[in-house]
Structure 1
Amino acid sequence: MNPIRIVVVDDHPVVRDGVRSMLAAVTGFEVVGEAASGPEAVDRVLATEPDVVVMDLRMPGGGGVDAVRELRARGSRAAVLVLTTYDTDSDTVAAIEAGATGYLLKDTPAETLFDAVRATAAGETVLSPAVASRLASHVRRPAASGVLSAREREVLALVARGRSNRLIADELFVSEATVKTHLVHVYEKLGVSDRAAAVATAYERGILG
Structure 2
Amino acid sequence: MEQRAAQIRVAIVNDYEVVVAGLAAMLLPHVDRVLVVEIDTGLPVISDVDVILYDTFGQVQGDGVDLQDLVRGGDAKVLVYSWNTQPDLVDRSLAQGAHGYVSKSFSAEDLVRAVEAVAGGELVRPGPEPVAVQPPGRWPGKEHGLSMREAEVLALIAQGLSNQEIADRSYLSINSVKTYIRTAYRKIDVSRRSQAVAWGMTHGLSPEQLRVVDPAAH
Give TM-score, length-normalised by structure 1. 0.50
Q: Which structure has more helix as a fraction of its residues?
A: 1
Greater relative CO, 1 or 2 (CA 8 Å, sep 6+): 2
> What TM-score, normalized by structure 2, do the two folds share?
0.48
